[in-house]
Amino acid sequence: MRLPPFHYLAPRTHAEALEMMRRYRGKVRICAGGTDVMNLLRLRLLTPSYVMSLKGVAGLTGIKRRRGDFAIAAGTTLRDVEEAPEIRLSLPGVAQSAGLVAAPPIRNVATIGGNLLQDTRCLFYNQSELVREAAAPCLKQGGRVCAAVKGSKRCFSVYQGDMAPSLIAFGARAVLKRKGGGRTVPVEALFSGRGTRPLFLGDDEMLTHIIIPIPKGVYGSSYQKLRLRTGLEYPLISSAVFIGVSKKGEIDRARVVIGAAGPAPIVDGEAAASLIGRRPEEVNPEEAADHAGSIARPVDNLAMAGQYRKKMAKVFTKRAIEAALAALGKAGASW
């Protein structure tokens, strides 16, 4: 399929890119790695007047360790995140999630920022223009009702980014810039929970960095992902878990985040709370994962049935908890 017509923008500096975002506000689409944007353009799901490449902009790639955190530039490739020794050592769940995205050729060019800021997806929406024209438009296309849940006035499209659950589990923050200002927000605050417009992102804003605090003490993390094949697949359900242990050997920090279960990652506070105060050997992963299965309510709009994916939310959260607990032992915790 051919790309739609557009004007190509190639800023050379950060300031020039922000000026273009302001000048062409609402009409420009950023292209970093392009692995997702190009497909959306070919399907005519995106038809911007301008496409702005960030390839020539200095300072939008790289990983810097600072006092107490990492600053990962939004244009850093997933391969670089996956293979960075300092990320693998200090933020293993983040490296793991980067390594589970698609296949190596895609990770070589896809960026952490692009993966984070993906649009929601749905079998009824992510089709060619010819297929979409053969049916009544769904809510995400400007129609009146959801095609996945007949008669619903709510869009049930699914956010399927791999990086967001792990970044949220580690308490990451997103740095957003616009000409003349900017803001820094928790990664979970980027998500609106609305399938039709899933991101709280201004049309003149650009994600420049992701800040991830380095946890103190002993901790373990894991990212687990359900998919049809071992490569090239978006998650059909996923779970990211972070568990930290106090000097007394009790779990004092925990976060459980479920992905691909709705229009935004789901922070499962009840599952995390069930881990706090226990010694790792006292945790029953299956019991702790029960709540994940109850709050995940996927529908039949991806390649697997919603009811099956709901069951797998518990299964993959259990696996993530088990893997995070195993990582605690490898980290040398003494309990």
Out of 22, 38, 58, a domain closes at: 58
**d(C-alpha 290, C-alpha 313), whole Å:** 9
The answer to whether residue 184 is domain-embedded is no
The answer to whether residue 281 is domain-embedded is yes
The answer to whether residue 187 is domain-embedded is no
Out of 58, 84, 101, a domain closes at: 58
DSSP 333: -
The residue segments making up the domain with residue 31 are 1-58
User: pLDDT per residue over 102-139, tens digit each?
Assistant: 999 999 999 999 999 999 999 999 999 999 999 999 99
Q: Minimal CA–CA distance to 160: which of 263, 29, 60, 69?
A: 263
- The arithmetic mean of pLDDT across residues 184-193, rounded, is 98
Q: Minimal CA–CA distance to 3: which of 55, 38, 32?
A: 38
pLDDT at 231: 80
The answer to whether residue 109 is domain-embedded is no
Q: How much of the chain, in percent, has pLDDT values that exceed 90?
A: 96
Out of 58, 89, 106, a domain closes at: 58
From residue 25, alpha-carbon distances to 6, 12, 182 in Å are 15, 19, 16
Residue 271 belongs to domain with CATH number: 3.30.390.50
119 three-class SS: coil
Q: Minimal CA–CA distance to 87: which of 253, 241, 321, 78?
A: 78
pLDDT at 332: 59
pLDDT higher than 90, residue 20: yes
Amino acid identity for residue 26 in this structure: G
pLDDT band at 230 (very low <50, low <70, confident <90, very high): confident
The answer to whether residue 50 is domain-embedded is yes
Residue 41 belongs to domain with CATH number: 3.30.43.10
User: pLDDT per residue over 62-101, tens digit each?
Assistant: 999 999 999 999 999 999 999 999 999 999 999 999 999 9
Beta strands of the chain (E only): which ranges? 7-9, 28-31, 50-53, 63-66, 69-73, 173-178, 181-186, 206-213, 218-226, 237-245, 251-259, 266-267
The answer to whether residue 199 is domain-embedded is no
**d(C-alpha 230, C-alpha 232), whole Å:** 7
The answer to whether residue 276 is domain-embedded is yes
The answer to whether residue 284 is domain-embedded is yes
User: pLDDT per residue over 285-297, tens digit each?
Assistant: 999 999 998 999 9
pLDDT higher than 60, residue 334: no
Residue 17, CB half-sphere, CA atoms under 13 Å: how many? 25
Write the burial class of residue 267 (CB in 10 Å: 0-12 exposed, 13-18 middle, 19+ buried): middle
pLDDT at 276: 97
Q: How many domains does the chain have?
A: 2
Hey, how many other C-beta atoms are within 10 angstroms of the C-beta on 85?
8
